[in-house]
């Protein structure tokens, strides 16, 4: 079946540094990718939608300069957390779609980010 | 904006029993999709079942079935013959119909289901 690979699985970084998370669709072309954030014991919150070759659409309350999203190819979207702070510590999950309405959404395994 | 409500933070049943997880939603959309996702401790999101709002027939996938009541905006999940491996967080999710393809999901807060041996 279709697979979405997310890397890294976990990362620890120091406050003030930037961290890049990759989301790859391994066996299909993902015209649309989504980024979610999940706090401990909470639900997933949609952060942004990225479409290949265009600017990402951010949900209300999500700082686009803080969470940079790039979807440069049909198989790769990246989320960069810039100038990370401890409150950015969270679980980040991507999902990818082939782009047609009936195509399923495939989730990555998530990235646990800890900012010290 | 859409909202999804799961009113049961946690449920516990004995193995082999049947359990129903509730979900209600609010939307002004007429065309949309509803999902149940399972998230085990590994945190991998696993699709359990999906329902298109325009379909009156309730979706079923083996031991999993839904009771979709569009007028009441209710979308409950029934798990029959529950198994230990069903222990996980279960999230109800909503996706509005977007002409260009898939849209982002709105999730409920989840129900932690525990299957007791």
Give the pLDDT confidence of B50-98 residue by residue, as tens digits: 999 999 899 999 999 999 999 999 999 999 999 999 999 999 999 988 7
In B, which residues are within 8 Å of A98 by CB distance?
Answer: 101
Give the tens place of pLDDT for each residue, A5-56. 999 999 999 999 999 999 999 988 888 899 999 988 889 999 999 988 888 9
- Interchain contact, A100 vs B101, CB within 8 Å: yes
Q: Buried b / exposed e across A63-90, counting CB within 10 Å, b at 16+?
A: eeeebbbebeebbbbbbebeebeeebbb
Q: Reading across the β-sheet that carries A76-81, which strands appear in turn? A: A4-7, A19-25, A76-81, A67-73
Give the gap in angstroms from C-alpha A59 to the nearest C-alpha of chain B.
10
Name the residue of chain A whose CA is nearest to B108's CA. Answer: A43
Q: How confident is the model at residue A2 (pLDDT cuts 50, 70, 90)?
A: low
Q: Which residue of A has its CA nearest to B3?
A: A45
Whole-number Å distance between alpha carbons of B54 and A47: 28
Instruction: State how far the Cα of A3 lies from the Cα of B60, in Å rounded to an integer.
Output: 24
Q: Give the pLDDT confidence score for residue B77 in this predicted structure.
A: 98
Better-predicted residue by pLDDT, A21 or B100: A21
């Amino acid at each position: 079946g279709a697979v979405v690979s997310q890397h890294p699985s976990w990362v620890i970084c120091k406050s003030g540094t930037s961290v890049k998370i990759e989301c790859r669709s391994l066996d299909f072309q993902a015209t649309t990718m989504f980024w979610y954030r999940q706090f401990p014991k909470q639900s997933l919150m949609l952060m942004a939608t990225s479409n290949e070759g265009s600017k990402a659409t951010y949900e209300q309350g999500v700082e686009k300069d803080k969470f940079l999203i790039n979807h440069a190819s049909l198989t790769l979207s990246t989320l960069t957390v810039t100038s990370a702070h401890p409150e950015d510590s969270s679980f980040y999950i991507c999902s990818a779609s082939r782009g047609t309405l009936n195509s399923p959404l495939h989730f990555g395994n998530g990235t646990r980010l800890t900012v010290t | 904006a859409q909202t999804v409500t799961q009113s049961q933070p946690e449920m516990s049943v004995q193995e082999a029993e049947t359990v129903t997880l509730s979900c209600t939603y609010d939307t002004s959309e007429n065309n949309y999709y509803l999902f149940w996702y399972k998230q085990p401790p590994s945190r991998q999101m696993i699709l359990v079942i999906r329902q298109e709002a325009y379909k009156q027939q309730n979706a079923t996938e083996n031991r999993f079935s839904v009771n979709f009541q569009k007028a009441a905006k209710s979308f409950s999940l029934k798990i029959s013959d529950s198994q230990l491996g069903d222990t996980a967080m279960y999230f109800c999710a909503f996706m509005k119909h977007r002409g260009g393809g898939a849209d982002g999901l709105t999730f409920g807060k989840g129900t932690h289901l525990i299957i007791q041996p």
